[in-house]
Amino acid sequence: MKIADMRSKSEDQLKDQLVQLKKEQFNLRFQQATGQLEKTARMKEVRRDIARVKTLLREQAKAEAEA
């Protein structure tokens, strides 16, 4: 997902997306452990999307603290 798309979302939407991404990450790790994972690159994408969401949440919190 693009960072520009994420910036337009509210804090609640970002938190919901973070929960969904963490669930997907868990499922991907489970599939990898059982040998069922086909798209190994998806793990990297999900991990980076989680980092992007966390970064945006931190930026928003910092902006609110300064204001």
Q: What is the pLDDT of residues 26-52, one digit of tens each?
A: 999 999 999 999 999 999 999 999 999
Non-local CB neighbours of 10 within 8 Å, separated by 6+ positions? none
- In this prediction, residue 23 has a pLDDT band, given cuts at 50, 70 and 90, of very high
Q: How far apart are alpha carbons 2 and 4 in whole angstroms?
A: 5
Helix axes 11-34, 41-66, angle to 10 degrees: 160
Q: Please report the pLDDT score of residue 67 as a whole number.
A: 78
Task: Give the per-residue pLDDT at 2.
Answer: 86
